[in-house]
Each structure stands twice: as structure tokens, then as C-alpha cells.
Amino acid sequence: MRLNGVEYNDYPDLSPGTYAGESIGVYTAKTFLWMFLGLLTTFAVAFFGYATGCILYVFQIPYFHIVLMVAELAVVLFLSAQLHKLSVPIARALFFLYAALNGVVFSAYFLIFHMASLILVFAMTGVYFGAMTLYGYRTKTDLTRLRPILVGGLIFLIVCTLLSLFLPLGMVDRVVCLIGIAIFLAFTAYDTQKIRTLYTAYQGDTAMLERASIYSALQLYLDFINLFLYLLRFLGKSRK
């Protein structure tokens, strides 16, 4: 198996349980801490933009939303592609830069949806996400077999998103949201289990383990964000 062009077996498997005295449980907890800090950054930036009214002025800048979208895509693609070459501090900085940029986008949701609706959906996302991470961490089933289905589902969601820009999907959008929820619930369990795989693969290189932790945190961050967005589209109550 490969991560960004690097074979997992490029680094020796020194022991099944620990590296440098750190257990798989501690390593997993640290990965989720980075993910949580990324989410905290996103929602802090989003709420600041909404509470101060800055977002009303920011999105009046011509083509700003396009520039923002390109910047987000560039950061996450560069981070994913160059992760095995970047220093750990730079990789973390790029992760938090992406989270902050995403926060600018999310500030618009405070204008679109009722606050109570946002809080309810966020709580639901946390419960569902937590249940699937627990399953992914505890299960003995090899979830890598789901990868072709998950990638196919992701492509389907991307195509539907592009079509929605040009065609009104109507009730079909509700079905797409349900599929999106299912896909990212499964991705959550899959990416949680992958933390253990990367931990075992890179036990011979502490720096690479740190980078792999950031990579896993990014994947889980994206799982949470997308799960939240599909639940919000399906259940959220927009302002009139």
C-alpha cells in the first residue's frame, strides 16, 4: 500500500504496540486532538466573521469566492501531495491555514441557517462521527475493502454537486444528501482504522509518524466537515 507515493514498508515495523514509548492509543488521541483543533479554528473564524459582520464585506469583493475556493483546493492538494517531504511544523501550519480558509466559507452558513439549527446539526454530527470513529477503532474487520465503493461514492457526489450548479435537482437533492451522509459515515470509520495502519507502517521514523498524524487529522477533519454539511442540507432550517 502507498501513501503519497511512499510505500508503507519503506519503514521497518519495529514493534506492534509502541514507538518511542508512545502507544497506539496515545498516538490516535493526538491525531484526534489535531483534528479537533482544526475544527475549532474553522468555527472560531466562522463565528468571528459572522459576529463582527466582516463576512458581509468580504463576500462583496468581486470573485472573492472563486479565489477562496482555489486557495482552499491548492492548500489541501499541496499538503496531501507533499506531506512526506514537508517539515512537521510547515505541515501543521498548512493544515491550520486550510481550516482557517474553510472558516471564512463557513461564516456564510451563520447568515443562511438559524443558529438553533446549526447547533442541533453540529451536535448530531458529533454523535454520528463519534460512533463511527469508535467502530473504526475497535472493529477487527478490514475496512480497506470499502475503498472502491467509497471512492465511487465520492465521485458520484462530486458529479451531483457540479450538476446542481446548472440544473435544479429538486427532491433528488434529498437523496444525494442521504448518500453523502452514508459515504462520509463510512469514510469516518475507514480513516479511523487507517490511523493504526499508518502507525504500524511508520514506526521506524518518528517524523514520518508525525506527518502521518497530520494527514490522518486532515482526512478526519474533512469527514466531519462534509458529514456536517450534508446533514445541514438535509435537516437544516434556513432563514427566510
Do the Cβ atoms of 113 and 160 come closer than 8 Å?
no
Please give the pLDDT value at position 135.
94
Mean pLDDT over all residues of the chain? 84
- 180 CB-near residues (< 8 Å, 6+ apart): 157, 226, 229, 230
CA torsion, ordered 74, 79, 82, 87, to nearest 10 deg: 130
CA separation for the pair 50, 9 (Å, rounded): 47
CA torsion, ordered 4, 179, 133, 101, to nearest 10 deg: 60
CA separation for the pair 58, 61 (Å, rounded): 6
Structure confidence by residue, pLDDT tens digits, 60-116: 787 777 888 888 888 888 888 888 788 889 999 999 999 999 998 888 888 888 888
**Which pTM does this prediction carry?**
0.85
* Residue listed under C-alpha cell 459576529: 51
Do the Cβ atoms of 200 and 16 come closer than 8 Å?
yes
SS3 state of residue 238: strand
Structure confidence by residue, pLDDT tens digits, 128-166: 999 999 999 999 998 989 899 999 999 999 898 888 777
Would you place residue 39 in the very low, low, confident or very high pLDDT band (cuts 50, 70, 90)?
very high
- Smallest Cα–Cα separation from 7: which of 221, 207, 148, 197? 197
- Backbone dihedral region of 229: left (phi > 0), alpha (psi from -120 to 50 degrees) or beta? alpha
| Residue 66: count of CB within 10 angstroms of its CB | 9
pLDDT at 1 over 60: no
Q: What is the mean pLDDT of residues 119-127?
A: 94
- 25 CB-near residues (< 8 Å, 6+ apart): none
